[in-house]
Amino acid sequence: MPFAQLADVRLHYEIEGDAQRPVLMLCNSLGTTFEMWAPQLPALLAHFRVLRYDTRGHGQSQVTPGEYSIAQLGADAVALLDHLGIGRVSFCGLSMGGMTGMWLGANRPERIDRLVLANTGAKVGDPSTWAARFEAVRAGGMAAITPSVLDRWFTARYQRVSPDEVDKVRAMLLATSPDGYIANGAAVRDMDQRGILASVGAPTLVIGGTHDGSTPPELGRAVAQAIEGARYVELDAAHLSNWEQAGAFTATVLSFLLDGGLNERARFEAGLSVRRPVLGAAHVDRALAGRSALSAEFQDLITRYCWGEVWTRPGLPRHTRSLLTIAMTLALNRMDEMRLHMRAARNNGVTRDEIKETLMHAAIYCGVPAGVSAFRIASEVFAEQDAADAGGGC
């Protein structure tokens, strides 16, 4: 992967996609690398040439001495664009990356087409909180803060149902240079960009997470209110909303960047990013691998529109959509589909008690015979899951 030697720092970056497409620049959060954007990459590449880079002090980029500032990180982004001969970009940053985006929008407006500011704020935390965190890192390295950071970054539900995905982010945190973390953390600690938000002129989308413990949603709402014409969307997620609600995040960002004009490849990829975690990757892979001349277009259709259009909508959490789907398939007597969604429901944090109450409620409105069949299927599904869990299966 390439590196750019700038005036005082060596940055690690990757630029991918059709050189004829507009460029989308992605900026990572504190404690991650450009790999944090992996869930979005396939769909984004359907419309953009994508430029990802490791912020100074992160990943394979150089750790330079001293404390950093948001202005310095913004200047790095501009210098990287200059190095690559790129004039204007759309820019998407999360957390500290979003803070960099605010600086660019206000101070380098000629370089920004559209701006996405995710899970971020114009002023975050207080000095005492940062001092305690830095002291912990100095004494015990990144391992000393990683558990508490993950608890702010992901809901307990997501940590329970997606441990492998959480492990990927944990690995990024643990691999972060302690010196780089502290230097960048100082930039966040000292930042106050509330006074410059009114000068951001680019069309702006602000994304918040309902359960965000690092940058609570009221910080995102305040940013959106201060930028004229900005849109605000809140997802059922904690801090890393692009990871926890990958499909909804991707669809929301692409719809904004393209004014709703997603092409079919991007919608398919966004749909896959929801369909896989909801139904299970093994099931989805079997369905796609089993496509025939007869069924291929239908599989593409349901991935693009059932999953890429409806399940990615931010208005309802996946937990609620799971329960609704179980109830509606019961009402329609589509027991094979109901069995599938009962199996998948725990991937969305649905409990057995919640399924039981849904079936009880649906039986009254849809009929006792349908309820009898549904409870029988639920018993079979739960027994299968218990046996798989006891045997170490998935």
CB 271 within 8 A of CB 307: yes
pLDDT along the chain (394 residues), means of 10: 93 97 98 97 93 98 97 98 98 98 98 98 92 96 97 93 93 98 97 97 97 96 97 95 92 87 74 82 85 87 86 84 94 93 90 95 94 95 91 56
pTM: 0.84
Do the bridges between strand 10-16 and strand 112-118 make them parallel or antiparallel, or are there none, so unpaired? Answer: unpaired
Q: C-alpha distances in angstroms, 236 versus 60, 136, 160?
A: 32, 30, 16
pLDDT (0 to 100) of residue 260: 65
pLDDT (0 to 100) of residue 259: 82
CB 174 within 8 A of CB 79: no
> What's the CATH code, domain 266-390?
1.20.1290.10
pLDDT (0 to 100) of residue 267: 77
pLDDT (0 to 100) of residue 394: 43
Strands (E), the chain: 3-5, 10-16, 23-27, 49-53, 89-94, 112-118, 204-209, 231-235
Give domain limits for the chain: 3-262, 266-390
Q: Which CATH superfamily is domain 3-262 in?
A: Alpha/Beta hydrolase fold, catalytic domain (3.40.50.1820)
Strands (E), 6-111: 10-16, 23-27, 49-53, 89-94
Counting every residue written for the chain, the total comes to 394
Could you tell me which of 58, 54, 56, 117 has the C-alpha nearest to residue 90?
117
Distance (Å, whole) CA 285 – CA 282: 5
- Distance from the Cα of residue 262 to its chain's centroid: 18
CB 284 within 8 A of CB 307: no
Do the bridges between strand 10-16 and strand 3-5 make them parallel or antiparallel, or are there none, so unpaired? Answer: antiparallel
pLDDT (0 to 100) of residue 156: 93
